């Protein structure tokens, strides 16, 4: 696993969370990592080879928003902030 030191004055932080599905169909968060770049967050979930989500915290608003999703088959979708729709990530 990668460990990343987040600077105290970071403008944004990416949170990658693995999604685990129980046998009864319920979902819960598994392993997680905070990263300074989306590339690190994406590499974390790709290395686990598990579905999951990446959210981003922004210092300017102090809010956390959805950013991207890794699906069980390995493809990624990214939230388009202008349209509000999920789009495939190339």
Two structure tokens written together for 30: 């598994």
pLDDT given at position 52 = 93
Mean pLDDT of the chain: 88
d(CA 46, CA 88): 16
Tell me the domain boundaries of the chain: 12-82
pLDDT given at position 79 = 95
Q: How many CB atoms lie within 10 A of CB 1?
A: 7
User: Does residue 10 carry a pLDDT above 90?
Assistant: no
Two structure tokens written together for 40: 């690190």
The distance of Cα 66 from the centroid of its chain, to the nearest Å, equals: 8
Two structure tokens written together for 69: 């999703």
- Regarding predicted confidence, which is higher, 21 or 14? 14
């Amino acid at each position: 696993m990668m460990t990343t030191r987040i600077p105290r004055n970071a403008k944004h932080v990416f949170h990658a969370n693995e999604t685990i599905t129980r046998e009864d169909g319920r979902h819960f968060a598994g392993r997680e990592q905070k990263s300074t770049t989306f590339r690190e967050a994406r590499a974390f979930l790709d290395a686990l080879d598990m579905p999951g989500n990446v959210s981003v915290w922004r210092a300017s608003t102090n809010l956390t928003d959805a950013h991207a999703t890794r699906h069980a088959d390995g493809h990624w979708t990214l939230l388009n902030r202008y349209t509000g729709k999920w789009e495939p990530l190339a």
